[in-house]
Chain A
Amino acid sequence: MNWFLLTQLLANGLIVGMLYGVVAMCFVLIYKSTQVVNFAQGEFLVLGAWVCLAMVVKAGLPFYIAFPFTLVFMTIFGILIQTVILRPLIGEPIISIIMVTIALSIIMQSILNWTFGNSSASFPQIFPVENVSLFGLQVETAYIMSLVLSVFVMALFYAFFQYSKYGLAMRATAYDQQAAQSLGVSVGQVFAMSWAISAVVSGIAGIIIGIVSGVSSSLAVIGIKVFPAVIVGGLDSIVGAIVGGVIIGLLENLAEFVDGQYLQWGNLYTIAPFYVLIIILVIKPYGLFGTRDIERI
């Protein structure tokens, strides 16, 4: 048994898992407050990463200026998508909502591939040091930044929902839309805000992954990986999203370890989360932290 490889992979899994957690959190945020399942989440990541990269490489802006500009862009983008495409569909059956976000992802994917090309591009080096030694493990600085930023985003989320007026409004809307509306919460504003936040945070995640492993349309795969994560955690639980993300990240890397060392099947890690997803759905349909639907006639 190769202990060194195992620890390396587990550390990797934790870092990737935290990122999955962040993206899953965005996904859950939209679902919780607007009851929309966003199949275009992966494209949000790609969009954020490409826009930031274009600003850095094509416009020659330094990274610390391009980054906030990207976030502003993503905010506007999120609000626009919500008001133009999703607002007319409020109250429509689930199938329409799913299809509209799928269609959105198709459109975004082709526009992004058309404008930025199919090939992968990488950010110019942002950190002076490439690797840092941590407890005897060689860790890339970008990975550490990714971990720190993930934790930071999560803490920000927590503080926002716990202490700010808007966070409270969003929680109230998620809990009971009508009651919130009757108490003076602008539900439309909350919907737009949740899409904006989700787009911004996805953009951040996209940039992080772009820095770590290069920007390409394949980043959108994370949008699919998010599904196992949110199902494991429960579709409407933000804590669950983080836990689910970490579990899926670890699981992927464990699958790769088992595959590489013993089974030699190849590509097990891409498919393992989906087997877990099916198993979880059969055993525990509402995930680890999700609320059970109680239906009355």
Chain B
Amino acid sequence: MASTALRPCGDFRTTYKTDQYLFQTKMIGWTAAAALLVLILAPVLASSYVVNLLILVGISGISALGLNVLVGMTGQISLGHAAFYGFGAFSSAYLANNYGVPVLIAIPVAGVMTAIVGMIFGLPAARIKGLYLAIATLASQFILVDFFARATWFTNGYGVDASKPEFFGIPLDTDEKYFYVVLAWAVISMIAVANLKRSRDGRALVAVRDHYLSAEIMGINLTKYRILAFGISSFFAGVAGALYAHYIEFVSVETFSISLSINFLAMIIIGGLGSVPGAFLGAMFIELLPQLVQLISGFLITIAPTVFGLIENGKAYIEQITVGTVIILFLIFEPEGIAHRVGQTRKSIKLYPFSY
């Protein structure tokens, strides 16, 4: 194994087929398999607190992955991702509550519904791009959230209850059981997006990002792919939203504010734009950061109550400030995100003691 895993400088891929392997080296493949194994065993081994965190990371990761298709791969900035996430949550709850659709089926159906809504709101992308598009998605965020607050038939105007799913008669009512639903969706989405990246459509999306005029000249239908990117991204947002709804068991209109959209953007920037594992790494970072802040500020208060007592009532603010600072620091010092850093570290360990 060592001889194939060690790949010093130079790119030894000689055929298109090797260039398109899902796992570029055996090492990456084994790491992925090991990670999956650990995650499958996680509910047995870890405490329910860790499982709860893992579920949240998984859900946010799926949503961030969708956003990464739109922002990282296609280069279209969306400030309205949380609204689509919310739409998925409400539609899944609506289907399950009003039509008795089994939850496990309602989740992907909600994803498809969200994809359609996403494509409708992506229509301006046919004509505009960059900054103007970012502002258009900002508008769609406000319009959709306003719709949630108005459409009482859909959301009660404030929020709806959502039930836990059943799997062939087995209720998936505990965190440990629900974890597998999230894990399955996370794995499916990761494989789907990784496969998209190495397919014709995925390359077309990247071409649209890199230079849309050249892409158009090469015969790529810009309008189709721009709107398709919105569709794909909204699908994952919808699925993640639905998973969230059935996990929390109550969907509130207020959850899906612009700050959630910003959190999703922060995840992909910190994780790495356009990277599949990056979306999950970023989600982990953003979901764990508040826990870390809680831990540190709690620790500071216990060791020096007089000095840090002030922090006690400002914990929520400190959390926000940390998130903002981390985003700025990443943008200035590590614009390619954690995924890039992980790759660099991997290479330098492998090639130690030589630099390449």
Q: Which residues of A contact B (CB under 8 A)?
A: 37, 85, 88-89, 92, 94-96, 98-100, 102-107, 109-111, 113-114, 224, 227-228, 231, 235, 265, 267, 270-271, 274-275, 277-278, 281-282, 285-286, 295, 297
Contacts and interface: CB of A to CB of B under 8 A. Distances in A.
6 contacts: A85-B328, A103-B323, A107-B320, A110-B321, A275-B139, A285-B127
B139 A99 contact: no
A106 B127 contact: no
Contact of A94 (B79, B123, B127, B134): B134
What 5 A-B pairs have minimum CB-CB distances, sorted nearest first?
A107-B324, A103-B327, A106-B324, A110-B320, A274-B139
Given A92-B335, A99-B265, A278 B77 contact: no
Contacts, number: 119
Contacts of B323: 103, 106
B325 A107 contact: yes
A116 to B, nearest CB: 11
A20 B330 CA distance: 33
Contacts of B75: 95
Contact of A278 (B143, B262, B317): B143
A227 B127 contact: no
B186 interface: no
Nearest to A105: B324
Nearest to A108: B324
B314 interface: yes
B269 interface: yes
Given A98-B134, A100-B332, 12 more contacts: A37-B134, A100-B328, A102-B327, A103-B325, A110-B316, A110-B317, A110-B324, A113-B317, A227-B139, A274-B139, A274-B143, A282-B123
A98 B317 CA distance: 22
B142 interface: yes
A277 B324 contact: no
Contacts of A278: 124, 136, 139-140, 143
Interface string B288-329: 000000000000000000000000001011101101110110
A111 B321 CA distance: 7
Chain B at the A interface: mostly helix, strand, loop or mixed?
helix
A241 B124 CA distance: 22
Nearest to A274: B139
Interface string B202-214: 0000000001011
B351 interface: no
Contacts of A285: 127-128, 132
B320 A92 contact: no
A102 B263 CA distance: 10
Contacts of B314: 114
Contacts of A85: 328, 332
B132 A281 contact: yes
Interface string B121-135: 001100110111011
Contact of A95 (B71, B135, B217, B328): B71
A262 to B, nearest CB: 17
A295 B71 contact: no
A271 B213 contact: no
B272 to A, nearest CB: 12
Contacts of A111: 317, 321
B335 A271 contact: no
A204 B180 CA distance: 55
Given A277-B139, A282-B123, A92 B328 contact: no
A130 B272 CA distance: 56
A285 to B, nearest CB: 5
B324 A267 contact: no
A99 B331 contact: yes
A99 B134 contact: no
A100 B331 contact: yes
Contacts of B142: 224, 271, 274
B150 interface: yes
Given A100-B328, A114-B314, A267 B146 contact: yes
A157 B115 CA distance: 46
A104 B328 contact: yes
A271 B324 contact: no
A241 to B, nearest CB: 14
Contact of B124 (A104, A110, A281): A281
B237 interface: no
Nearest to B316: A110
B269 A99 contact: yes
A95 B143 contact: no
Contact of B213 (A100, A114, A297): A297
Nearest to A266: B150
Contacts of A114: 314, 317
Nearest to A88: B332
Contacts of B266: 99, 103
A106 B262 contact: yes
A96 B317 CA distance: 23
Contacts of B265: 95, 99, 102
A179 to B, nearest CB: 23
Nearest to A282: B124
Nearest to B213: A297
A277 B135 CA distance: 9
Contact of B131 (A37, A88, A107, A110): A37
B251 interface: no
Contacts of A94: 77, 130-131, 134
Interface in B30-69: none
